[in-house]
Structure 1
């Protein structure tokens, strides 16, 4: 277990409140637009890299934008396939936490980059940083087999040993983390069990990618209520956005769908990114919302098998790490689309009318 003394260390705690949130950013990627949170995280990640805490280096990962309609961002990372920790044997969307298996209580102290503490005195009053009681806690730890530079893991309430099942507080911590950043490069992803999660301990992937993804600005149409769908993207998904700075309402909407997925044992992936408003009224050069993209997908049972690329959350979002050197030079958009489309298309068609009724009827899933 990570000791309470270590987690309480002043050097490892980043305290924040609503007053630290940034709701609008530039849409330009790769610029030096760092908040205090961004700077701290990138500094800590580099220190971990300098200390050789990772299984391999990713500072020279080759990156290219594939020609085509969707401009997939692909990166050559053969090391991840052969040097990543062996995945756990996942058989169901919900499985009990197993303390004897690898989990994040077993990591070394130096693998913790920082701990996030959200503080408020009451549910309706957020106090200044440094006062009040922490009501949300999340640990940012290294991923020792990173996809790209700065790839980390966000673990809500690490020492509570929760299984890899999305819940309200965890989603809130993830959204808060996005809002602490001033750069559109920051991304957060979640793989459910049987949705390519490899560790059954509640966590998100957190990383910075200095390239635009199509999903940041892709046009959407309203399905029902706050739920939209892409008009044209190869991986059909359910899309939500932050409106009127109301994080709680966004969480309620997303969690309605998550609870429906869980009740029907539907594997899923979730991606959070800055982007343009779903109604198409954004100002040029500005990202004025946070998009939450949710895919229902075919399950992937057992231990993951990766050949050319995986079909996890990053890949569905259009950021595709490639694990086969033999396929790298001649890779095309047409090589990727059938695979990622096939993972989601049937489940999307099946779940769409159910989700439409969910919001039209304004019912919660118990």
Structure 2
């Protein structure tokens, strides 16, 4: 994190325990009831609003408008022309294996005023903390608390070119300067971050290199969307073990859930998939959201954390689409659109055609699917819970 005298401000740490995890949220209702929020959500909102008031962002979000595209998929389209024109120019990505480059922009360059807080899992509240609202907050200087000096730091910063309200970047193990390649620890941090929120529209997304990642430094997008998406309720087909297939959108992929599992198990299985994709030079996108337990019907109150991962066609270079880029958010059914014409004229068929362009060749996808089935069945025969985590059901 930038540490010159101008930015040497106090950075807070949000300390949490497993007791704060929220395994179920209020399902989406037709009566328009508002999403509930947790103390974690309130802590983010307070600091995000403060950053907006202090001019940290490149633009405000008052101009964003939303349209539900008619059709069975109910794509949520949002017109955000300023994100297309004002955001930092994406890095040129040429390989899934592209190494981290400390001379290119990375998130250790982020200014202190852009930091929401560090997040840290503790087994009991630290002795020297202050109560800020409902959140247990510990103050530190330049991002390192006295109790955290020997620990790896996970950080939440605002996205200065926001896509929606609360748009942040979750940066697991930020100081280790990892390239944009998932680790099991990063997935654990992401899932636990999801569990700290009570908002049913809180969402996390990851784009691998060559799958529209903009910065080659390990990060997830995190944001709030007050609209239901198809990934929140879509049916899936069981493949084997804990692996399922998602075919509700033109670009098929794979799905996992927290229900009946633990955070470590879910992270481990998701990491197996992402690691397989990375080693096989396959670009991929990940989306984590709240939704129905697999197999439950619309209207059911049984919710869980869903995790989707899509192998997809590689994209080489920088972002250039005139409409929208097919990345993790778009594969979830949320479409940040760059220009007015497309926003107003898009039909479901138009969107389907753009999403379909991310598809691998059918024979390649089927080959990957066979390997995923094998991995799932193999995992099922060695499924032992030696993690000591609480199983979520």
- TM-score, length of structure 1 as denominator length: 0.91
SS at 1:278 equivalent: coil
Tell me what 1:197 maps to. 213
Is residue 84 of structure 1 aligned with residue 87 of structure 2? yes
**Distance in 1, Cα, partners of 2:4 & 2:277:** 35
Whether the 8 Å contact between 1:190 and 1:205 is mirrored in structure 2 is yes
Q: Which residue of 101, 106, 111 maps to 1:108?
A: 111
Shift in Å, 1:280: 2.3
For 1:303-322, list aligned pairs within 5 A.
303-322=318-337
SS at 2:40 equivalent: helix
SS at 1:291 equivalent: strand
Tell me what 2:246 maps to. 230
Deviation by residue 1:106-161 (Cα, 9 ceiling, x = unmatched): 11110001110112xxxxxxx22226976663211111111122111001121221
**Distance in 2, Cα, partners of 1:260 & 1:4:** 41
For 1:272-291, list aligned pairs within 5 A.
272-280=288-296, 284=299, 286-291=301-306
Tell me what 1:56 maps to. 59
Deviation by residue 1:320-365 (Cα, 9 ceiling, x = unmatched): 011011222211111110121231353533311111112223499x
Tell me what 1:170 maps to. 186
Q: Which residue of 349, 353, 363 maps to 2:366?
A: 349
Tell me what 2:177 maps to. 161
May I ask how many residue pairs the two structures share in their alignment? Answer: 355
Deviation by residue 1:288-317 (Cα, 9 ceiling, x = unmatched): 210000000001111221311111111111
Deviation by residue 1:163-193 (Cα, 9 ceiling, x = unmatched): 1100011111100110001111100000000
**Distance in 2, Cα, partners of 1:231 & 1:262:** 22
Shift in Å, 1:61: 0.7
Whether the 8 Å contact between 2:323 and 2:338 is mirrored in structure 1 is yes
Q: Which residue of 308, 317, 326 maps to 1:293?
A: 308
Whether the 8 Å contact between 1:136 and 1:173 is mirrored in structure 2 is no
Shift in Å, 1:43: 1.1
**Distance in 2, Cα, partners of 1:211 & 1:118:** 30
Tell me what 2:20 maps to. 20
**Distance in 1, Cα, partners of 2:308 & 2:276:** 16
Is residue 42 of structure 1 aligned with residue 45 of structure 2? yes
Runs of 4+, deviation exceeding 3 Å: 1-9, 131-137, 361-364
Tell me what 1:144 maps to. 160
Structure 1 range deviating more: 187-196 or 331-340: 331-340
For structure 1, the 5+ residue unaligned runs are 120-126
Whether the 8 Å contact between 1:93 and 1:193 is mirrored in structure 2 is yes
Structure 1 range deviating more: 43-52 or 186-195: 43-52
Whether the 8 Å contact between 1:59 and 1:149 is mirrored in structure 2 is no
SS at 2:358 equivalent: helix
- TM-score, length of structure 2 as denominator length: 0.85
Relative distance call for 1:267 and 1:246 in structure 2 (3 A) is same
Is residue 251 of structure 1 aligned with residue 273 of structure 2? no
Whether the 8 Å contact between 1:295 and 1:344 is mirrored in structure 2 is no
Deviation by residue 1:65-96 (Cα, 9 ceiling, x = unmatched): 11001000000011111111111111111221
Task: Report the aligned-residue RMSD.
Answer: 2.4
Is residue 179 of structure 1 aligned with residue 179 of structure 2? no
SS at 1:258 equivalent: helix
Q: Which residue of 363, 369, 375 maps to 1:358?
A: 375
**Distance in 2, Cα, partners of 1:222 & 1:8:** 50
Whether the 8 Å contact between 1:175 and 1:247 is mirrored in structure 2 is yes
